[in-house]
Amino acid sequence: MKDNDNLTIERPTFVTHLECAMEGDHYPADQVHNLSKAGKPLLVRYDLAGVKKALTKQALAERPADLWRYRELLPVRKCQDIVSLGEVTTPLIRLPKLSAKLGGGEIIVKDEGRLPTGSFKARGLVMAVSMGKALGIKHMAMPTNGNAGAALAAYATSCGIKTTIFCPADTPEVNVSEIELQGATVYRVNGYIDDCGKIVGEGKAKVGWFDTSTLKEPYRIEGKKTMGLELAEQLGWDVPDVIFYPTGGGTGLIGMWKAFDELEKIGFIGSKRPRMVAVQASGCAPMVRAFEAGTEHAARWEDAHTIASGIRVPQAIGDFLILRAVRESKGFAIAVDDDKISAALNEVAREEGLLLCPEGAATYAAYKASLADGRVNKNDRVMLFNCASGLKYPLPPVTRTLDRHKPIDFSQF
């Protein structure tokens, strides 16, 4: 086995068509698509009976441990179209001290910060860009709160696709800088991510770029679903009892729910499903409000604000898919305050040595609250998603100093 076998060995492909997530009507594969005629996301469908015959767990285990090991369940047909910067299998990290402290079940963090550009956005964008390359797209545009823009810039630059990216004016400086440095043209906009999205949508006809916004193209879901494929394999083809997922646009939550269905249909897992929990910030919680109201769609959240910028999404086009997955899994949606997010980040770092991003810390805060109020029980094995490296965010200052020219009081140590 060579380290790049997944990128160089042709595999059988099984994409049959695309399907409107709302209406169910079909669209041809291997053509450029954005939304369906109903203005809803398109889902990629596969000949899963064919996949079942072609792929075994043993064959999978003998492949290099990266995202591209799941080629039979991915949309990219030819090796020549794969764009890769090294999409490693991300580790599962146990938090035994915090589990014991809380008196709950096993706490596992899937640390997505190990991926290229330091976030789980690499999964979705590597697939979108690879398919863009395959379909001959020359210019891609998107709105971003930071990490998605960085991933799009890196992958598109690596294969020669032009990128134009729009982000809210208060997007962290490190994100804006890395987007620009990695070859995109980036603009700060005085508004939220959905305001940036309107600019991208208007420019589609006027500029001719491809709209790569969350769920407005079919393939970011396929990249994000590899989180579900991966964690099931890492757990010995089992699933956790509960998944806490930081939810803005919700692509990953939707993708994992799709992954579990596909894995069951090819015989890799049974019918057991994790309860899917959509975690939002109290200052931007449209899914929580819709879940509690029992509605299928989530109205726009006005005056959205949170320190967890990645989940500051006032309105998501895939709202109904997020809410369906949560309800079908007997999960729930929960919002946590910014002070609880900050405290969670601090607690996990100081107790376990794991530096989470604010969005990842929100999942730990949500778990603590859910354990306390009984929505999660003390025997549940829970999976928290840390969606980016904590090093991409502002860290607290340290002001403690020593003067080596003066006597040092060693009793202070």
pLDDT in tens, 174-226: 999 999 999 999 999 999 999 999 999 999 999 999 999 999 999 999 999 99
pLDDT at 136: 98
- Domain 116-218 sits in CATH 3.40.50.1100: yes
Mean pLDDT of 144-171: 96
Measuring CA to CA, which residue among 57, 76, 60 is closest to residue 7?
76
What are the backbone angles phi and psi of residue 30, rounded to the nearest 5°?
A: 65, 25
- The CATH class given to the 92-114+225-392 domain equals alpha beta
pLDDT at 396: 87
What is the per-residue pLDDT across 225-245, written as a single tens digit (0 to 9) for each? 999 999 999 999 999 999 999
pLDDT class for 1, splitting at 50, 70, 90?
A: confident
What dihedral do alpha carbons 390, 393, 396, 397 form, nearest 10°? Answer: 120
* CATH 3.40.50.1100 domain range(s) in the chain: 92-114+225-392, 116-218
CA distances from 379 to 102, 171, 333, 374 (A): 12, 39, 20, 11
pLDDT at 106: 97
Say how far apart CA 198 and CA 207 lie, in whole Å: 14
What is the per-residue pLDDT across 85-98, written as a single tens digit (0 to 9) for each? 999 999 999 999 99
pTM (two decimals) = 0.95
Which residue(s) pair with 336 in the sheet?
281
What is the per-residue pLDDT across 263-306, written as a single tens digit (0 to 9) for each? 999 999 999 999 999 999 999 999 999 999 999 999 999 999 99
When the pLDDT of each residue in the chain is averaged and rounded to a whole number, the result is: 97
